[in-house]
Chain A
């Protein structure tokens, strides 16, 4: 057959339409037959009725349409008010709060470690300092753990944004701003494994005669530089008082070097000294070398610089502090920092004791 025979002119439209319908009918019948064959096979193979459920089961899963209940018949907030028992602390916790409580309880949540650290830090600052103050006056006087309450209060008061000290103290990181760090400095073990608080005065003295002993705020390590005699800083060596004994002597050493914190004037218990009051102001003046009691502050300023390795000034400060030893003894607790001990005066002081 040729296509030319099948021209449209040969067939009118109705026939063409009829032809189209015939084609369509054939297609539909094919679909029906295909379905019947499938069903028949399924029936004969036995899997045709498998997806049907019996009437009884159908009733179990009937859709529920009651208020307060979902389509399965379950109550929505059934477990909201129930209480669960925590397996860790054996407390009864509300269901909605159970997961967060577990997080904190087990210490596994995202914030639980952070909170715990914060708590430890704050409790260290407050509790330890208080106990130190009460217990070992000897040791504590020497130490620079200003973890006293005054200190704690001071920290906040000192952190006055308008205070001119603020920017200054930043440089030297004096007690005020880094007050939270200061107690730690004195409480933690240093690289040398020594804690100034735990050591007795004798031990401290022995250590400090051979080593510098200044604790760096940055690394919290005790400076182990060996002490060397320095004649230049031998000023007013005779002025310091030796009546209180060796303890005071060793304290004295630290006094002069630790007179850095400006808060000393405010926090010192015996603070009626001009020197102490002046200390904060003179803190950052490296040039002041006056050894008067008033200059004690200046010396203390240098104490800070001692950390930078200026031995001369340190020595001067140490000797100067000797003059106000009695004053300083009480104000020792106010020290927040422990600058490097004055190297030159050390041997001189101990010489006197011996």
Chain B
């Protein structure tokens, strides 16, 4: 599957080179803030912090405690839109 992995690497490179990745990132960020996803995750972080204590909490703690829930909490509309854009990009630039 090196071809595939090569393919992936090429696509990613293209995304970055063309600035599409940055644009997609910004778009996602804006949408997540808009739908309140960010505040939800912040509340989760608070819980983790209260659990672990302010002094001892580490980044890994937070990441481990929050990321899985974060992925699940992304609204479907946001997900669909982003996928659509990625597919469009792939279609445009993979031939």
Contacts and interface: CB of A to CB of B under 8 A. Distances in A.
B95 A3 contact: yes
Contacts of A28: 28, 70-71, 74
Contact of B67 (A17, A22, A24, A29): A29
Nearest to B59: A40
Given A20-B90, A32-B70, A36-B67, A27 B24 contact: yes
Contacts of A40: 57-59, 62
Contact of A10 (B7, B11, B66): B7
B86 A23 contact: yes
A1 B66 contact: no
Nearest to B38: A35
Interface SS of chain A: helix
Interface residues of B, number: 43
Contacts of B87: 16-17, 20
A15 interface: yes
Contacts of A36: 45, 59, 62-63, 66-67
A25 interface: yes
A6 B86 contact: no
A300 to B, nearest CB: 91
B35 interface: no
Contacts of A24: 79, 82-83, 86
A215 B32 CA distance: 88
B7 to A, nearest CB: 5
Nearest to B62: A36
A13 to B, nearest CB: 10
29 contacts: A3-B94, A6-B10, A7-B95, A8-B91, A10-B7, A11-B94, A15-B4, A16-B94, A19-B90, A20-B86, A23-B11, A23-B24, A24-B86, A25-B71, A27-B24, A28-B74, A31-B28, A32-B70, A32-B71, A33-B63, A35-B45, A35-B66, A36-B45, A36-B59, A36-B63, A40-B57, A40-B58, A40-B59, A43-B49
